Structure 1
Amino acid sequence: MDWESGSRVVVRHFRGREPHAALPTTVVTEDSTGLLLWLAGGTPVVRGLLADGRTVRDVGVVASALLPRSLRPRQWRGTGILMLIPPAEDWSLWWFFRDDGSFMGWYGNLEDRQVRRVVDGVQYVDTADNALDVWFEPDRSWSWKDEDEFADLTGLPGYWTAAQAPHIRAAGERLITLAESGAPPFDGRWTDFRPDPSWPLPTLPPHWHAA
């Protein structure tokens, strides 16, 4: 499934059958490492927030996972990120950039294996976030992120089980192995990326939550 450079892809994160985030992106390219997407600063996105207006910090990770949520429009802040969707892995890799365009580092987002689909002519990448992540400095040194949240969510209804948790961590360990060896995608590619100035900000289609 090759998607054309410059076309729109909506990345959706689900928990169960319910979407809790939708990120409109633009296709940069696709090669053997995966589908590369650009999420521009200022892009209109949708994120799931607690329905009563409180934050995770207010109620704690466990309570926030069980309380009702509502989908609210926001804008993606910052200079924009590149997002690599590999052909068959349980992670995506994000390139972060500073305000001056210089490369800040990679963020390994551990998530369910992505499903690509087209619904009513709209291209989607669907997945579910698995909380645990890995941050990589430009020199490829690394650190785990959100380990406490990952532990708190393990075993809760609608999340991963204790038996599945080691498999999620193993996805991060595979990323770490790639980084330590300087293998693609940690071989310097895309660290000097600049988006095509002709690309418009993508928007969410009216029925972005369609199955």
Structure 2
Amino acid sequence: MTEYWQPGTTIEWVYEGTGKHADKPNVRPMTVVRDDADGLVAWLAGGTPLLKPVLEDGRETRHAGPVGMFTADRVLKLDTWHGTGILKVSPPGKPWSVWHFWGADGTFHGWYVNLEREHVRDWASRRTSTVDRVLDLWIKADRTIEWKDEDELEGAVTAGRFTPAEAEAIIADAHAAVREIEAWTSPFSDGWQHWTPPPDWRLPAAPTTHQPTLIAEELHS
């Protein structure tokens, strides 16, 4: 029997660290909206406490540049998700997830396709884990497609994070996603842009960490 999480369950959506950063995951507590044979749908609410890798001075890793962001030393930061919430969909068997973005006034802004390894679940810890593959796509509300972070993918190859062949496979996955967007398949056609979270849902608790080096930011309830 296939196992699924019930709606309302708190899970952790984890981007594993790799290489020298294997012990520096990005951990986002989220609430399950739906989980079935069509995929996992989960909500990252604004203000959610999370754990993320940053540079040793506390800045975002991108400040190190498209190569340095993969080679510079990192520490973990206990932070919060700033801005509006994101609805994430992890379609089964796909090397990407689809994120839905709204503005502060509730206006739907578009879809974000995050290229990533197919998810692996840890039922005991209620975690779904993946590895980010750097390249992304942004789809505006009018369905215009923009490619993002191509320079970072090149930087990842220069830094040894990916081989040239792996980068080519990631680009091929992005083209596969574009074909699905142009065909307007699920989850783009599922109407999630009209979804709103139940008003009684509370923010998840902060992830736990046993890392000796941790930058802590004041958390807001």
TM over 0.5: yes
2:137 pairs, out of 113, 134, 138, with 134
| Correspondence for 1:146 | 149
Q: Deviations over 1:44-98 (max 9, x none)?
A: 0111001134554653221232121000011101120000112111111100011
Q: Which runs of 5+ in 1 are unaligned?
A: none
For structure 2, the residue ranges without an aligned partner over 5 or more in a row are: 212-221
Offset of residue 152 of structure 1? 1.0
* RMSD, aligned CA: 1.9
What is the number of residues matched between the two proteins? 206
Query: How far apart are the structure 1 equivalents of 2:29 and 2:166?
Result: 29
Bigger share in strand: 1
Cα deviation per residue 1:148-199 (whole Å; 9 max; x = unaligned)? 1111111534x22111112111222122111111211111511111101111
Q: Contact 1:10 / 1:204 at 8 angstroms: preserved in 2? A: no
**Aligned counterpart in structure 2 of residue 113 of structure 1, from 95, 112, 118:** 118
> How far off its partner does 1:207 sit?
5.3
2:73 equivalent in structure 1: 68
Give the letter for the 1:33 counterpart.
D
Map of 1:30 onto structure 2: 35
CA gap 1:91/1:58 in 2 versus in 1, 3 angstroms: closer
User: Kindly tell me: are residues 182 and 46 of structure 1, through their superposed partners in 2, closer, same or farther at Cα, counting changes over 3 Å?
Assistant: same
Q: Secondary structure at 2:5's aligned position in 1?
A: coil
Name the stretch that deviates more: 192-201 or 58-67: 58-67
Identity over aligned residues, as a percent? Answer: 37
Instruction: Answer whether contact 2:51 2:207 (CA < 8 A) is retained.
Output: no
Relative to structure 1, is the Cα distance of residues 138 and 62 closer, same or farther in structure 2, using a 3 angstrom cutoff?
same
In structure 2, relative to structure 1, the CA distance for the partners of 1:41 and 1:208 (3 Å cut) is farther
Q: Deviations over 1:6-35 (max 9, x none)?
A: 001101111223233110000001244310
TM-score calculated relative to the size of structure 1: 0.90
Q: Deviations along 1:115-166, whole A, 9 cap, x unmatched?
A: 11123xx310111111110000112210100101111111534x22111112
TM-score, normalised relative to structure 2: 0.86
